Amino acid sequence: MNRAMYPCQLVGAQVALREFRLNDLDAVMTVVGDDRVTTSLSFDTRTREQTTAMLDGIVGRAKKELRTEYYLAVTIMDDVLVGFARLGLDGVQAAKLGYAIAAEHWGYGYATDAARTLVDFGFRELKLHRISAAMGPDNTASIAIAHRLGMIYEGCIRDHVYTNGGWRNSLLYSVLVEEWAATGTAGRRASRGVPRD
Ligand SMILES: CC(C)(COP(=O)(O)OP(=O)(O)OC[C@H]1O[C@@H](n2cnc3c(N)ncnc32)[C@H](O)[C@@H]1OP(=O)(O)O)[C@@H](O)C(=O)NCCC(=O)NCCS
């Protein structure tokens, strides 16, 4: 059912998504080492040491036979890393979507394109049934992305994450495979990857 793709490379309208490499450290620091970005994430700003460990983990998990996540670098132009997008496989044909873009690249549509490309990959290639995304109630940019992707608001998850020194609610959105197919988005994205099985 869940064909593990490695390496996974996806091409969107504006961005490309690829596997992380250990030498992405400096670029990844511009994302997870920046308070402006992490204030809306479920984890606190990371040091260089923590980011090295994070990258080690992502790179290692990506190569596992049973892949539990597609945690991909979001790149523009000639492989300039501007952020990440992640599908965390969770339950039966279900996944959680997450994304972040370095602050200097906000507002160009990169997160929307990355999320749309990854969601399309999840439904078309991974044969998922449901993809959800949880975001802080004040995260207007992320809420706009959920709406743009045709996600449906499901409700508020109380004290969902502990971040930046306190508990934070999340708004839960989701999209189902039949809804995705009905948007006409399916088929617009090319994906490249090497099936493991
Ligand atoms: C949320 C985030 C990923 C959006 O990235 P982005 O590449 O700027 O997003 P896009 O350019 O695709 O824009 C998406 C929408 O957000 C809006 N937007 C972008 N930056 C914004 C900002 N600083 N404030 C308010 N809205 C903003 C855009 O206008 C767009 O809305 P529209 O569709 O109504 O025009 C980015 O702000 C970020 O990394 N934030 C911190 C991490 C985070 O919140 N991740 C998501 C957790 S669920």
Decide: 37 in ligand 1 pocket, CB within 6 A. yes
- Whether the per-residue pLDDT at 3 is higher than 70: the answer is no
User: To test ligand 1's pocket by mutation, which of 74, 76, 101, 118 has the most ligand atoms within 8 angstroms of CB?
Assistant: 101
Is residue 68's pLDDT more than 80? Answer: yes
Q: What are residue 144's phi and psi, to 5 degrees?
A: -60, -40
* pLDDT, average across residues 94-118: 98
Predicted pLDDT of residue 191: 41
pLDDT given for residue 181 in this prediction: 93
Q: Which atom of ligand 1 is nearest to the CA of 139?
A: 44
Predicted local distance difference test score (pLDDT) of residue 4: 81
Q: Which residue has the CA at smallest separation from atom 15 of ligand 1? A: 141
Q: Is 148 in the pocket of ligand 1 (CB under 6 A)?
A: yes
- Whose CA is closest to atom 25 on ligand 1? 141
Burial class (CB within 10 angstroms; exposed 0-12, middle 13-18, buried 19+) of 78: exposed
How much is the pLDDT for 189?
43
pLDDT tens digit sequence for 132-170? 999 999 999 999 999 999 999 999 999 999 988 899 999
pTM score: 0.93
Give yes or no for residue 80 CB within 6 A of ligand 1: no
111 near 56, Cβ under 8 Å?
no
- Residue recorded with tokens 């160009």: 108
Per-residue pLDDT of 162-175, as tens digits, reads 988 899 999 999 99
Domains of the chain from N-terminus onward: 5-188 (3.40.630.30)
